Amino acid sequence: MRYTLLLGLALVASMMMLSGSICGADYDLQKTPSSLKAPLETISSKRVATAELAATPRAGQVYYLLGNLDKLRGTVTTDAGAQETSFQGEIGFKVVPDKDGQMTFILESLNLVSPGVQTNKGDSGVIGINLADAGSKSIYDAKTGNTVAEVRTVLHYDLIDEVMGFIREKSDECAVFNSYTEDMAGTLQIKLPERLKATDQAEVSINGEVRLELKTPVVGAIQNTLVYIDASKLIWYLTRPAQVLNVQPVYIGTGSGDPAATGAAFNTLINRAAEIWNRCGTVRCITLRANQPIYINNNAYRLLTSADADPAEAAALRAEVNVPDAVEVFVVERWDPLFDGGGACWSSGTASAKIITCDQQLNVPCPPPCVGGGSCGAVNLFHLGHELGHSLTLGHPSSPGSLIAGTVGSLMEPSGFCLDNPNVQSAKNCRSATSPLLYWGRSICTKSPNIMD
Ligand SMILES: [Zn+2]
């Protein structure tokens, strides 16, 4: 597991570009290494300009103060004692000055991801923490700069899935394997500059910590976490920047020179996924970034048995690669016999989310092997966009389970293997999408959702 992790990181560092636009679509599939997050000052969202700096900020003007968190030290107390680890993620406040110039801070995002720690029940695997409810009011003391927010968070780690199994969101046409999660509560305590004003004069340095305690155990191997926010930088914005989701493709073959390697469908699928998620643009900019593929040299994975008939086979494939900061997308040749929509998402909405799909998505056999017919050939162009929606905590509209129900008639409708998911994005899907893997990045979203609700 550690080996595959290191392999993943090494490949991320030697990133290559993915192909560009489809049909002239103006989306933005990121092409830079996931390990090199865009410096905040280069993020292409509207910054607070000097001209807009006011000694008394305009009441009601909304500002955003946010930043990525890198290489944070953390102590995770498990049933095996205290363990040191590192975290990365993002933090974001919405800041609203009142007419007296007092500023109200609302903690809108806090995402933390760690490679994991040892517990008495085994390696935790990737740990993901994110806010249970966005919009936690924070108290900022202008005299001291001390800022405190009470936070409730969702906690998930791989070991929970191993111990508890998955919650199957039942649908005849697309398989979703959701995770049990645990709740934590505690405080974010940081020191901001005194008498802080919205300005572009400098980055805002913060120091502090996040202390969280387990409230509703499911497995309970992690009891509390303490994450030190040392020397992190925040920047003021007038508009929220894009949030980036990293995707890690995994193919079956010996390497990029293997003509028989799987993954032929991936570039088309990821470009369509990037295009439909870019449509969130005017509501909330969400962008995808794809790593260079990782190859598994084991032909036994080319053809998967239906995950219902043999769940161990798909589980073994998923266990082959763990990249902590990305959604792994495993591309096999096909499922035999046909498995639901020919693809599925496990650990939806968590930092451990993984998708298995197949090249046959764009090469559906003729006649269509589905009850009731359908199409054959390059059918499922938006299939990966749909599965990535699951990784962003969205469920099907018709079968609300532990996820947030997607919009009726949108991309999140299941469609089966012989019919594509709707080429329709919705504002609600965009607003509801959440994952501990999201971080602030450089992108411009210019499109709008098809359904504005
Ligand atoms: Zn689905």
pLDDT, one tens digit per residue, over 422-448 is 999 999 999 999 999 999 998 888 899
Rounded distance from Cα 54 to ligand 1 centre (Å)? 48
Inter-residue contact 67 to 440 (CB < 8 Å): yes
| Confidence band for 3, pLDDT divided at 50, 70 and 90 | very low
pLDDT at 46 over 70: yes
Phi, psi at 162, each rounded to 5°: -65, -40
Inter-residue contact 212 to 224 (CB < 8 Å): yes
What is the model's pTM? 0.90
Rounded distance from Cα 386 to ligand 1 centre (Å)? 6
Rounded distance from Cα 108 to ligand 1 centre (Å)? 27
pLDDT at residue 146, as a whole number? 96
Rounded distance from Cα 394 to ligand 1 centre (Å)? 9
Inter-residue contact 418 to 376 (CB < 8 Å): yes
Rounded distance from Cα 340 to ligand 1 centre (Å)? 10
Rounded distance from Cα 427 to ligand 1 centre (Å)? 18
Q: Tens of pLDDT along 72-131? A: 999 999 999 999 999 999 999 999 887 777 888 999 999 999 999 999 999 999 999 999
Cα torsion 399, 405, 409, 410: sign:
negative
Residue 30: which residues within 8 A CB-CB, separation 6 or more?
244, 287, 288, 289, 290, 441, 442, 443
Average pLDDT over residues 140-167: 96
| Confidence band for 14, pLDDT divided at 50, 70 and 90 | very low
Rounded distance from Cα 411 to ligand 1 centre (Å)? 9
pLDDT at residue 50, as a whole number? 52
| Confidence band for 191, pLDDT divided at 50, 70 and 90 | very high
Residue 411: which residues within 8 A CB-CB, separation 6 or more?
276, 382, 385, 386, 389, 421, 422, 423, 424, 425, 426, 429
Q: Is 268 helix (H, G, I), strand (E, B) or coil?
A: helix
Average pLDDT over residues 125-146: 92
DSSP E strand boundaries for 291-326: 294-296, 303-304
pLDDT at residue 57, as a whole number? 58
Rounded distance from Cα 372 to ligand 1 centre (Å)? 19
Rounded distance from Cα 396 to ligand 1 centre (Å)? 6
The label of the residue with tokens 């008939």 reads 309
DSSP letter for 433, please.
-
Rounded distance from Cα 418 to ligand 1 centre (Å)? 14
pLDDT at residue 34, as a whole number? 43
Structure tokens, 437: 């893997």
pLDDT at residue 58, as a whole number? 64
Q: Say how far apart CA 330 and CA 264 lie, in whole Å.
A: 12
Rounded distance from Cα 64 to ligand 1 centre (Å)? 33
pLDDT at residue 38, as a whole number? 63
Rounded distance from Cα 345 to ligand 1 centre (Å)? 8
Rounded distance from Cα 366 to ligand 1 centre (Å)? 23
Rounded distance from Cα 436 to ligand 1 centre (Å)? 20
Residue 393: which residues within 8 A CB-CB, separation 6 or more?
348, 349, 403, 404, 432, 433, 434, 435
Rounded distance from Cα 395 to ligand 1 centre (Å)? 7
Rounded distance from Cα 354 to ligand 1 centre (Å)? 13
Q: Say how far apart CA 397 and CA 405 lie, in whole Å.
A: 5
Q: Say how far apart CA 350 and CA 355 lie, in whole Å.
A: 12
Rounded distance from Cα 448 to ligand 1 centre (Å)? 23
Rounded distance from Cα 221 to ligand 1 centre (Å)? 30
Q: How many residues does the chain have?
A: 453
Q: Say how far apart CA 46 and CA 33 lie, in whole Å.
A: 24
Helices and strands in the chain: count of H runs, count of E runs: 6, 24
Q: Which long-range contacts (CB under 8 A, 24 or more apart) does 142-146 make?
A: 142/102, 142/103, 142/194, 142/195, 142/196, 143/194, 143/195, 144/191, 144/194, 145/191, 145/192, 145/193, 145/194, 145/196, 146/189, 146/190, 146/191, 146/192
First to last CA, the chain: 43
pLDDT at residue 1, as a whole number? 39
Rounded distance from Cα 374 to ligand 1 centre (Å)? 18
The label of the residue with tokens 């925040």 reads 234
Rounded distance from Cα 438 to ligand 1 centre (Å)? 20
Rounded distance from Cα 170 to ligand 1 centre (Å)? 10
Inter-residue contact 68 to 40 (CB < 8 Å): yes
pLDDT at residue 218, as a whole number? 97
Inter-residue contact 89 to 69 (CB < 8 Å): yes
Rounded distance from Cα 276 to ligand 1 centre (Å)? 15
Tell me the β-bridge partners of 186: 151, 212
Rounded distance from Cα 358 to ligand 1 centre (Å)? 15
Q: Say how far apart CA 179 and CA 280 lie, in whole Å.
A: 26
pLDDT at residue 37, as a whole number? 57
pLDDT at 31 over 80: no
Tell me the β-bridge partners of 224: 77, 213
Rounded distance from Cα 157 to ligand 1 centre (Å)? 22
Rounded distance from Cα 414 to ligand 1 centre (Å)? 5
Structure tokens, 67: 């930043």
Q: Tens of pLDDT along 262-318? A: 999 999 999 999 999 999 988 999 999 999 999 999 999 999 999 888 999 999 999
Rounded percentage of the chain residues whose pLDDT exceeds 90: 70
Rounded distance from Cα 398 to ligand 1 centre (Å)? 10
Q: Say how far apart CA 57 and CA 306 lie, in whole Å.
A: 59
Rounded distance from Cα 407 to ligand 1 centre (Å)? 12
Phi, psi at 357, each rounded to 5°: -135, -175
Q: Say how far apart CA 236 and CA 276 lie, in whole Å.
A: 28
Q: Say how far apart CA 351 and CA 32 lie, in whole Å.
A: 21
Rounded distance from Cα 29 to ligand 1 centre (Å)? 22
pLDDT at residue 13, as a whole number? 37
Q: Taking all residues of the chain, what is their mean pLDDT, rounded to a whole number?
A: 87
Q: Tens of pLDDT along 227-260? A: 999 878 999 998 889 999 999 999 999 999 999 9
Q: Is 203 helix (H, G, I), strand (E, B) or coil?
A: coil
Rounded distance from Cα 306 to ligand 1 centre (Å)? 16
Rounded distance from Cα 169 to ligand 1 centre (Å)? 9
- How many C-beta neighbours within 10 Å does residue 110 have? 25
Rounded distance from Cα 25 to ligand 1 centre (Å)? 25
Rounded distance from Cα 352 to ligand 1 centre (Å)? 17
User: For 8-12, 278-282, 300-304, 410-414, which range has the lowest pLDDT when averaged over its residues?
Assistant: 8-12
pLDDT at residue 29, as a whole number? 57
Rounded distance from Cα 413 to ligand 1 centre (Å)? 7
Tell me the β-bridge partners of 94: 64, 106
User: For 9-13, 72-76, 387-391, 415-419, which range has the lowest pLDDT when averaged over its residues?
Assistant: 9-13
pLDDT at residue 202, as a whole number? 64
DSSP E strand boundaries for 360-430: 394-395, 404-405
